[in-house]
Amino acid sequence: MTISWRDRPVGIVGLGLIGGSLGLDLRQRGIDVRALVHRPSTAERARQRGLADQVDTDPAVLQPCGLVVLALPLDQLLEPPAALVAALPAGAVLTDVGSVKAPVLERWRQGPWRFVASHPMAGTAQAGVEAGVAGLFAGRPWVATPAADTDPSALQQVRELAELVGARWLCCDANQHDRAVALISHMPVLVSAALLEAADVEADGATAQLARQLASSGFADTSRIGGGNPALGTLMARHNRDAVLAALGRYRQHIEALEQLVQQQRWGELEQRLSRCQQLRPEFLPPATAMEPPGPPAADGRR
C-alpha cells in the first residue's frame, strides 16, 4: 500500500519568506510540519509565530518526513552543508524553491532521495523569520522542471503540495525556466535598481530631495524589487548569469530605441509603441490582476 505524503510530516529547511509562508499554509490545512533552521534564536521565534509544529537546529528533526522542501538561498542549495545532506531521509521526496533551476537540478538529481526541482513564483520584499505570511502562494505559479529521470510519483506529490496551498502548477525544461525568469524576474531587479540610482540624482541634491517628496505609487511599483533583498538579487544574477546578460541586452536595445524616438521627437511612433505596451501588459499578469483597470490617479494626477 502506497503511503500518501499527507500521512507523514512535511519537512521544511529554512523558515524565511517562502519556507515560513509554506509552513503557515500547510499547518492551516492540518499538515504536520517539521522545520530545520540554523540558529536557536530563529527556532524560538519560529515557534512563537507558529511556522511549524516542530522547529529545531538538529537535522534529525527531518527524519520522520516523507516530503522535504529545501527553502534555502541559492548558494546553500548549490553547496549544502554536509550535515543536512546526511540527515535527509532516504527515499523521501525532495524539492526546492530556488529561482534558478538548471544548476540546482544538476546538484540534487542524484541521491538516495527522489528530487523534483521546483520554483514557487511568489514573494514580497521581506526576508527572514518574520517574513512568512499565510496565503502567499494563492493563485501564483509554482513551476517544476523535471528531468528525464525524475520519478513521476514524486513529481505528482510536489504538485499536490503546490495545489494544496493554492498555487497554479506548471512544468517546463530547466534551461527554458532560467531564460524566462531572467526576463520577468532577475533582469527587472537590476532594472529597478538602476531606476532608483537614476532618481537619486547625486549631482543635484535639491532635485533628489524633491524627487523623494514627489514620488508616489507609480514609482513605488516600478522600484519595489530594486529595493529588495540585495543578497537574493546578487545570487540570482550570479547563478543565472548568461540568461540575465542576454535579457539585459534585449532591454538595452529597447530603451535605446525609445530614447531615439524622444531625441528625434517622433511622438506618433512613441505613442504607438506605448499603446502596444498597454495592450501587452495584461498578458504578463495573473488572470485576476489582468482584469483590473488601473487605479484612479491621485488628486494631483500622480499614480
* Whole-angstrom distance, CA of residue 199 vs CA of residue 111: 49
Does residue 228 register a pLDDT over 90? no
By mean pLDDT, which of 25-29, 169-173, 194-198, 250-254 is the weakest? 194-198
List, in order, residues 6 or more apart from 10 with CB less than 8 Å away.
26, 31, 32, 33, 34, 65, 66, 67, 68, 69, 161
Q: Which of 197, 220, 221 is nearest to 208 (CA)?
A: 197
Q: What contacts 24+ positions apart, CB below 8 Å, involve 246-255?
A: 246/179, 246/182, 247/179, 247/182, 247/183, 247/186, 247/187, 248/187, 248/190, 250/183, 251/187, 251/191
Report the percentage of the chain scoring pLDDT > 70.
92
Question: C-alpha grid cell for residue 204?
Answer: 543635484
By mean pLDDT, which of 34-38, 103-107, 223-227, 291-295 is the weakest? 291-295
Distances (CA, A) of 207 to 191, 198, 203, 221: 21, 12, 9, 21
- Asked if 59 and 82 touch (Cβ cutoff 8 Å), the reply is no
Does residue 188 register a pLDDT over 70? yes
Q: Return residue ranges of the chain for CATH 1.10.3660.10.
A: 176-290
Instruction: Give tens-digit pLDDT for 26-52.
Output: 999 999 999 999 999 999 999 999 999
Does residue 139 register a pLDDT over 60? yes
Instruction: Give tens-digit pLDDT for 3-16.
Output: 577 889 999 999 99
- Asked if 171 and 144 touch (Cβ cutoff 8 Å), the reply is yes
- Asked if 107 and 77 touch (Cβ cutoff 8 Å), the reply is yes
Give the chain's mean pLDDT: 90
By mean pLDDT, which of 32-41, 187-196, 232-241, 284-293 is the weakest? 284-293
By mean pLDDT, which of 39-43, 163-167, 204-208 is the weakest? 204-208
List, in order, residues 6 or more apart from 36 with CB less than 8 Å away.
11, 12, 13, 14, 55, 56, 57, 58, 59, 61, 62, 84
Predicted local distance difference test score (pLDDT) of residue 202: 63
Predicted local distance difference test score (pLDDT) of residue 6: 81
- Asked if 167 and 97 touch (Cβ cutoff 8 Å), the reply is no
Does residue 277 register a pLDDT over 80? yes
Can you list the alpha helix ranges (DSSP code H) found in the chain? 17-28, 40-49, 74-78, 82-87, 102-108, 152-164, 174-181, 187-200, 205-214, 217-223, 230-239, 241-263, 267-280, 287-290
Predicted local distance difference test score (pLDDT) of residue 148: 94
Predicted local distance difference test score (pLDDT) of residue 39: 93
pTM of the model as a whole: 0.87
Q: Burial-class residue 248 by CB neighbours within 10 Å (0-12, 13-18, 19+).
A: middle
* Whole-angstrom distance, CA of residue 15 vs CA of residue 33: 11
Q: Return residue ranges of the chain for CATH 3.40.50.720.
A: 5-172
Per-residue pLDDT averaged across 162-179, rounded? 97
Backbone angles phi, psi at 97, to 5 degrees: -130, 20
Residue 288's pLDDT band (boundaries 50, 70, 90)? low
Does residue 118 register a pLDDT over 80? yes
- Asked if 88 and 81 touch (Cβ cutoff 8 Å), the reply is no
Residues 66, 117, 192, 262: is their CA dihedral positive or negative? negative
Q: Which residue has the cell 520519478?
A: 151
Predicted local distance difference test score (pLDDT) of residue 135: 95
* Whole-angstrom distance, CA of residue 67 vs CA of residue 154: 9
Predicted local distance difference test score (pLDDT) of residue 3: 57
In CATH terms, the superfamily for domain 176-290 is 6-phosphogluconate dehydrogenase C-terminal like domain (1.10.3660.10)
Predicted local distance difference test score (pLDDT) of residue 129: 92
* Whole-angstrom distance, CA of residue 57 vs CA of residue 110: 25
Residues in the chain, total: 303
Per-residue pLDDT averaged across 225-243, rounded? 91
Residue 301's pLDDT band (boundaries 50, 70, 90)? very low
Predicted local distance difference test score (pLDDT) of residue 11: 98
In CATH terms, the superfamily for domain 5-172 is NAD(P)-binding Rossmann-like Domain (3.40.50.720)
